[in-house]
Amino acid sequence: MTTEAVTLEVRPRYTLPMAFIQPFMAMMERDLRVLRRDLVPFLARTAMQPFLFVLVFTYVQPKIGAGAPGFQDVLVPGLIASTVIFQGIQAVAIPLVMEFSQTREIEDRVMAPLPVWGIAAQKMTFAFLQSLLVVLVVFPLVYIVPVNTPHLHVSPLVLVTIIPLGALLSASMGLLIGTAVNPRQITLVFALIVMPLTFLGAVYYPWSQLEAIRWLQVITLLNPLVYLSEGLRGALTPQYGHMNYVAVYAGLIICCVGCTWGGVRMFEKRVLS
């Protein structure tokens, strides 16, 4: 009798994680099948904005004598950073808005044998993978299209640590935005939050050059994209200067933790309300 009681107490500790993994992977497989079916529209949507920026600023302008020398070097890390952030936000926030308001698909997901935070983690994981895929799509564009090939000095260790942190940051920001915002105001959020994040995220200039506008340089430290842009600038074009690596990694980690915590809390609140 005692042995049986002990067995019943111990068994869940070993079987429970596996019980979580199976439905988690099933939802991942379902989302990956949908992504594979819509892969061409996904790639076109992902590549269009960075392609147009690269085409205009590093191909058309130099051809007509209006391009700034070396701008293509500055643009490479900035465009990769902004595309990663935008893709992760879009991959989580927009589907969540639809699932909570129109399709009500979230009701089917919460019926899976997963805790609520596990469903949020699956959403973030899928967006994380999409953001990594974006790098493979965008990098060839920003390297091949410019008239003058960018002069890259790659730091492999920095690159392979910054990109996953940026992908995780974008996924956590998407979860927070998608759960904290009223579905009817999601377009307003993209206009008031996502666009300013991009244009004030050290995408088109090194953050250090904002020293001439000191108040703006300080305010932009609240922008998570600044740390990703500067980290990638240090990984790809360090010759143009970049933010201290300690500040870059600290900023990315703090933003990841804060957005993940806030996003999961808001997700649980929306699901359970």
pLDDT tens string 84-137: 888 888 888 888 877 777 667 777 777 777 788 888 888 899 899 988 888 888
CA–CA separation, 116 and 268 (whole Å):
6
Q: What is the pTM of this model?
A: 0.84
Render pLDDT for 19-63 as a digit per residue (tens, 0 to 9).
677 778 888 888 888 888 888 887 777 777 778 878 887 788 777
CA–CA separation, 130 and 46 (whole Å):
10
Domain ranges of the chain: 9-59+71-272
Render pLDDT for 172-226 as a digit per residue (tens, 0 to 9).
999 998 888 777 777 777 777 778 888 888 888 889 888 889 999 999 999 999 9
Residues 6 or more apart whose CB falls under 8 angstroms from that of 47 comprise: 137, 138, 141
Please give the DSSP secondary-structure letter assigned to residue 200: T
Q: Of 199, 204, 202, 174, which Cα lies nearest the Cα of 266?
A: 174
- Cα 253 → chain centroid: 13
